[in-house]
Structure 1
Amino acid sequence: MAETLDTLGQNETFDVVVVGAGGAGMSAALVAAIDGARVLLVESTEYVGGTTAYSAGTTWIPASTHAAGVNRDDSSANAEGFLDRAVGGRSSAAMRRAFLDAGPKAVAHIEANSDVKYRARPFHPDYLSEIEGSTLRGRALEPLPFDGRKLGRAFSLIRPPIPEFTVLGGMMVDRDDVGHLLNMTKSFASFRHAAKLLARHARDRMSSPRGTRLVMGNALIGRLLYSLLQRGVTVLTSTTLEALHAGANGIEAVTLSQVNERRRIGVKGGVILASGGFNRHPARRREMLPGADPAWCPGAPGHRGGAQDLALASGARFGEGALSNAFWAPVSVRNRADGTTAVFPHFIMDRGKPGMITVDKSGRRFLNENTSYHLFGIAMQKANTTTPSVPAYLITDSEGLRKYGLGMVRPGGKGLAPFLADGYLVEGKTLDELAAKLDIDKTGLADSVARMNRYAQTGVDADFQRGTTDYQNANGDANWTGPNKCLGPIGQAPFYAVRLYPGDIGAATGLVVDTDARVLNRDDRPIGGLYACGNDAQSVMGGVYPGPGITLGPGLAFGYLAARHATVRAKHPNQPTHDDALDLPIDLPLHAHAK
């Protein structure tokens, strides 16, 4: 279990203090511990995992040791060219090269020295697959499933997944499991797979409030937590970073608070900020994400920007020039029975499938529904400046609902009554009736559906070219018999809709850092002993979303760089550090296995 602040003495000293226990922060803490540092991991909420625990856990790392198993033709140089074309001047080319160089090293280092294990998805295209240098496979890594029972009582520290992404009261399923569950009556292999899942979950529920077979983001967090505890890392939850204390060589201590306790903790090597970014910082959110209601944010609750405020007060600055200050996804929103709000990101399961369209207030389509979720969210906000498109309306017919579901409504077409009763799902016996209930233009909706029905026959979306890239086709229906896997007719009454909003899923703008993840001041000089990674740091993707896992990948890479630099700094405190420049090679092997 997590420790309490009162177990630490006043002025106790750690080599490295990591603030924020999401994927980036936990990875940084683990690398520092592997390299022999005494590490303190501080988390402001009651759980570890952050938004990573809610996510698919996909980590975009080109040219890892796993890539060759599914794509021998890819290389770091190929990925660099892809990012140069996709991101361009929106981020530093040197920072992108640092990411591409460190990423494979970080994966290999952690896998060789901990219980964190990855595998490459056999098929997971880059989102901007039309750009030269993109790939269909090899760059997207996912964590292996993890048995949460290995954590014992510490299992309760992991942030549970979004309930609407689980089945049967807390059973986690990944994309492979979903396929087996949907086909369990059609395939013996799927039946056997599903039967094992269900039997395991039944056993779990006899002793646990949720399933202990962890997949996706929960699996990554589970593996990280298990590895951190094995190495004796001190973990504090519900703990606030109140102050950064600077000395002659930079940050030398922090003040932490927990309930009624307060401690000043010394730091030899450095403080690594990985607290999740600014998304729930009241003032900065209004400034940087105008018009985006915080109720639409599906991220974990910890990213309030307090650690960034302290860094800014110490001389740090925010980056500029990103395509967007945040990464986006269309979300639908529903009030749960317990009074909490469910925010459901529409990543791939519905909006790009045959028989689905998205329209604005005028009833007209305004975007390619199969574009990446990030570009979808940006398009909603851009279109809203001329014709109301927030909310937008994701519309299908009874056959589309049965086959693919609609947001929180699962495939099968059953159990609709609660969703209809609370207004999350809207039903119309005719398109005109649906338009009236949604208060959108019925003529525009009828025309949009008619046009889509024609495109379903020809296979060509003359308006938005849906289904024309590898990424778009990958998110269509592989079993669809029409000429375009992404286009299908809408005609089988009744008709259904859910409202979509632009939800920010993570910060793209953050603190400016260098290629060692050191936070830079306004003169572009490192602030001694202060590092940032994950969403606390300016994204190397420049607000562009070129592929799956482009937040977790850089989070891992720069967490690795920060941890190694801070650990070297802790072990060589007498080296001149007026500008925090270290003469030691950052790849110095420091494999003291602290248990």
Structure 2
Amino acid sequence: MSAPEHYDCDVLVIGSGAAGLAAAVTAAHHGLKVIVAEKHHQLGGTSAWSGGWLWVPGNPLAVAEGQLETPGAVEQYLRQQLATAQLDDRVQAYLEQGPRMVDFFQRHTHVQFYSGSRMPDMHEGPGAALGGRSLCAQPFDGRRLGPWLHRLRPPLDLISLGGMGIAGGMDLGHFFNATRSVKSALYVARRLARHGCGRLLHGRGLHLVNGNALVARLLRSALDLQVQVRTHSAALALLVDGHRVVGARLSTGPVRARCGVVLAAGGFAHDRQRMSEVFGHDNHLSAAPAENTGDGIRLGEMAGGVVPALPNGAAWAPVSRVMCGAGHTSTAQAFPHLMDRAKPGFIAVRDDGRRFTNEADSYHDFMQALFAADPADRQPHCWLICDHRALRRYGLGAARPFPLPTWGLRRRGYLIKARSVAQLAERCGIDAAALHATVQRFNQQARQGHDDDFHRGASAYNRAQGEATHRPNPSLGELARGPFYAVKLEPGSLGTFMGLATDRQARVLDAQGLVVDGLYAVGNDMASIMGGHYPSGGITLGPAMTFGHLAGLSLAADAVRVSGNAAPCRRSSRDDVPCSARH
């Protein structure tokens, strides 16, 4: 096709999560006209459901607090975690540019962060840090979005409280302690009252936290920069002129982009065909939005991009299957078990009644251990078990803590309740004698404050995930007071790691390592820079925003070249000089 005479924009971003909005905001800040196309009627994708944490070593907030990185420490940690002797180019770019990304958004946009100065890395070892590498978006007043508030995807209903998001740290601590502390009870009462007023007057809560706050801040920034945001606009095909991507055909019509297209459609967690091809099955239940069906990756492949294989193609997490709705309209939704496993009074066992891993390890590590327990098992599962005291204190999956009732979940068979451990085993199909022995041994070790079998509570991450006030170990507590409860855990994911091969500017690469001109991929449409490993919380959003920012910078720098007289050409990912100049 001949080059179009009219361009609708400079940059077209496909997808409205944190990665896509970061690219849009950066490009618009540098003077480019940007359109964001979202297939769903609500904005934010998986980011809006997330905890909103970013892992950015050496970030400006940590530096301001005096938490300086020891030279070479983070590189040492990543080499060990990624099982490599040499960090690749994109990881180096991330470590260099991540702090600059944070500084840019803090200085020039509505995006503001809290420092996660006490959040340790997930694993112990050389170069690991006890804090200072994590960030979380500050809460945001939804009224500042005006009418766009109702286009923002609300928090995941399964893990929110009546649609109210609860932030980690102090906020969550008050909710856990609402029945134990007058101060916490008053705090929770104010939060609930504020949320109730918001729903009554505006149709939803206004105090936005976690990933909802991050997306809201990015969206407000984009709107202020005159970014055009379109919902109900699925990307059907890319528009190509010669070797250059020049736009996309959307369900609402074609859009031509002078400088390029950014793929940020959220990965393929709900692409049943690709999931089956990659993992050998498609029966896992993802906690990602149903719209994440691999659209961006398919478009990238059609333009010449490639998807490299990774040892772990998804961010695995244990989930429980919650049936929502009634009758023929009921659907299964995934509740991600990210926190309860690490609290005192919980253990996880397989049908043989035995523990198989450290329950307080990360969700990704927990699932790797479940897969390894029986590699031949095509439908692996386990049971998360707790006593009455733990259930009413912390909740168990979709079963909320006191004073919220649990009878509905028991009636639907989600929450299994029994007077004794033996009866619980019978109702779940667990080996009763083995479970009794497991509970007895675990209780003895919990009283002593150390887990000789799986070292639960030994690492800083384990202890941070537990209950700070519990002694002698924040993560170990007996299962002592009946009745006892269980929920079945199955394989699930928070998203996918396998995506399009890119360079350090997030430009899509073909099978020869050459840039597909005019095409970028960020977020879960980009192959994970961690190579399928999970070294710390925030390794999805941290790179997502960093490479979204880098894509925006690259597009802004490329605008002059595209508007010049020289015809665009394919370039090596290792050389930013146009091919005509090199030859």
TM-score, normalised relative to structure 2: 0.92
Describe the superposition over 1:353-395 as per-residue Cα deviations: whole angstroms up to 9, x where unpaired: 2221101111111111111111112222222435788321001
Q: Distance in 2 between matches of 1:495 and 1:237?
A: 46
Contact 1:32–1:564 at 8 Å: present in 2 too? yes
Residue in structure 2 matched with residue 332 of structure 1 by the alignment: 320
Would you say 1:361 and 2:355 are equivalent positions? Answer: no
Per the alignment, in what secondary structure is the counterpart of residue 517 of structure 2?
Answer: strand
Describe the superposition over 1:1-41 as per-residue Cα deviations: whole angstroms up to 9, x where unpaired: xxxxxxxx995431111111111111111111111110011
Contact 1:91–1:541 at 8 Å: present in 2 too? no
The CA deviation at 1:498 is: 0.4
Contact 1:53–1:160 at 8 Å: present in 2 too? yes
The CA deviation at 1:531 is: 0.8
Contact 2:275–2:281 at 8 Å: present in 1 too? no
The CA deviation at 1:91 is: 8.8
The CA deviation at 1:70 is: 4.2
Residue in structure 2 matched with residue 6 of structure 1 by the alignment: none
Would you say 1:444 and 2:434 are equivalent positions? Answer: yes
Per the alignment, in what secondary structure is the counterpart of residue 207 of structure 1?
Answer: helix
The CA deviation at 1:187 is: 4.5
Q: Distance in 1 between matches of 2:420 and 2:185?
A: 38
Q: Distance in 1 between matches of 2:441 and 2:377?
A: 20
Cα distance change of structure 1 residues 31 and 414 upon mapping to structure 2, 3 Å threshold: closer
Contact 2:117–2:133 at 8 Å: present in 1 too? no
The CA deviation at 1:468 is: 1.4
Residue in structure 2 matched with residue 56 of structure 1 by the alignment: 51
Residue in structure 2 matched with residue 528 of structure 1 by the alignment: 517
Pairing of 1:270-285 with structure 2 (within 5 A): 270-285=260-275
Per the alignment, in what secondary structure is the counterpart of residue 66 of structure 1?
Answer: helix
Residue in structure 2 matched with residue 229 of structure 1 by the alignment: 223
Describe the superposition over 1:69-98 as per-residue Cα deviations: whole angstroms up to 9, x where unpaired: 445232573222211111133995221111
Cα distance change of structure 1 residues 319 and 508 upon mapping to structure 2, 3 Å threshold: same
Residue in structure 1 matched with residue 529 of structure 2 by the alignment: 540
Contact 1:277–1:304 at 8 Å: present in 2 too? yes
Q: Distance in 2 between matches of 1:123 and 1:479?
A: 16
Residue in structure 1 matched with residue 92 of structure 2 by the alignment: 97
Cα distance change of structure 1 residues 185 and 393 upon mapping to structure 2, 3 Å threshold: closer
Query: Structure 2, unaligned stretches of length 5 or more?
Result: 579-583
Describe the superposition over 1:269-288 as per-residue Cα deviations: whole angstroms up to 9, x where unpaired: 11111111122122111011
Return the letter of the residue paired with 1:566: L
Return the letter of the residue paired with 1:317: V
Q: Distance in 2 between matches of 1:184 and 1:311?
A: 49
Point out the more displaced range, 395-404 or 508-517: 395-404
Q: Distance in 2 between matches of 1:73 and 1:346?
A: 33
Cα distance change of structure 1 residues 448 and 94 upon mapping to structure 2, 3 Å threshold: same
1:383 maps to which of 350, 354, 373 = 373
Residue in structure 2 matched with residue 250 of structure 1 by the alignment: 244
Residue in structure 2 matched with residue 587 of structure 1 by the alignment: none
Would you say 1:134 and 2:125 are equivalent positions? Answer: no
1:347 maps to which of 338, 357, 379 = 338
Point out the more displaced range, 369-378 or 67-76: 67-76
1:85 maps to which of 70, 75, 80 = 80
Residue in structure 2 matched with residue 240 of structure 1 by the alignment: 234
Contact 1:517–1:558 at 8 Å: present in 2 too? yes
Would you say 1:39 and 2:57 are equivalent positions? Answer: no
Contact 1:92–1:540 at 8 Å: present in 2 too? no
The CA deviation at 1:192 is: 4.7
Contact 1:110–1:116 at 8 Å: present in 2 too? yes
Contact 2:11–2:33 at 8 Å: present in 1 too? yes
Return the letter of the residue paired with 2:384: L
Would you say 1:202 and 2:202 are equivalent positions? Answer: no
Contact 2:273–2:282 at 8 Å: present in 1 too? no
Point out the more displaced range, 383-392 or 173-182: 383-392
Contact 1:361–1:387 at 8 Å: present in 2 too? no
Q: Distance in 1 between matches of 2:114 and 2:481?
A: 41
Residue in structure 2 matched with residue 111 of structure 1 by the alignment: 106
Contact 1:380–1:389 at 8 Å: present in 2 too? no
Return the letter of the residue paired with 1:503: G
Per the alignment, in what secondary structure is the counterpart of residue 201 of structure 2?
Answer: coil
The CA deviation at 1:118 is: 1.0
Pairing of 1:390-429 with structure 2 (within 5 A): 390-412=380-402, 415-429=405-419
Per the alignment, in what secondary structure is the counterpart of residue 443 of structure 1?
Answer: helix
The CA deviation at 1:140 is: 0.9
Point out the more displaced range, 406-415 or 323-332: 406-415
Cα distance change of structure 1 residues 76 and 413 upon mapping to structure 2, 3 Å threshold: farther
Point out the more displaced range, 410-419 or 364-373: 410-419
Return the letter of the residue paired with 1:337: G
Pairing of 1:494-513 with structure 2 (within 5 A): 494-513=483-502
Contact 1:510–1:535 at 8 Å: present in 2 too? yes
Residue in structure 2 matched with residue 183 of structure 1 by the alignment: 177
Return the letter of the residue paired with 1:238: H
Per the alignment, in what secondary structure is the counterpart of residue 229 of structure 2?
Answer: strand
Q: Distance in 1 between matches of 2:248 and 2:87?
A: 31
Point out the more displaced range, 302-311 or 540-549: 302-311
Residue in structure 1 matched with residue 545 of structure 2 by the alignment: 556
Would you say 1:467 and 2:461 are equivalent positions? Answer: no
Would you say 1:314 and 2:303 are equivalent positions? Answer: yes
Residue in structure 1 matched with residue 581 of structure 2 by the alignment: none
Per the alignment, in what secondary structure is the counterpart of residue 253 of structure 1?
Answer: strand
Contact 2:156–2:163 at 8 Å: present in 1 too? no
Would you say 1:565 and 2:554 are equivalent positions? Answer: yes
TM-score, normalised relative to structure 1: 0.91
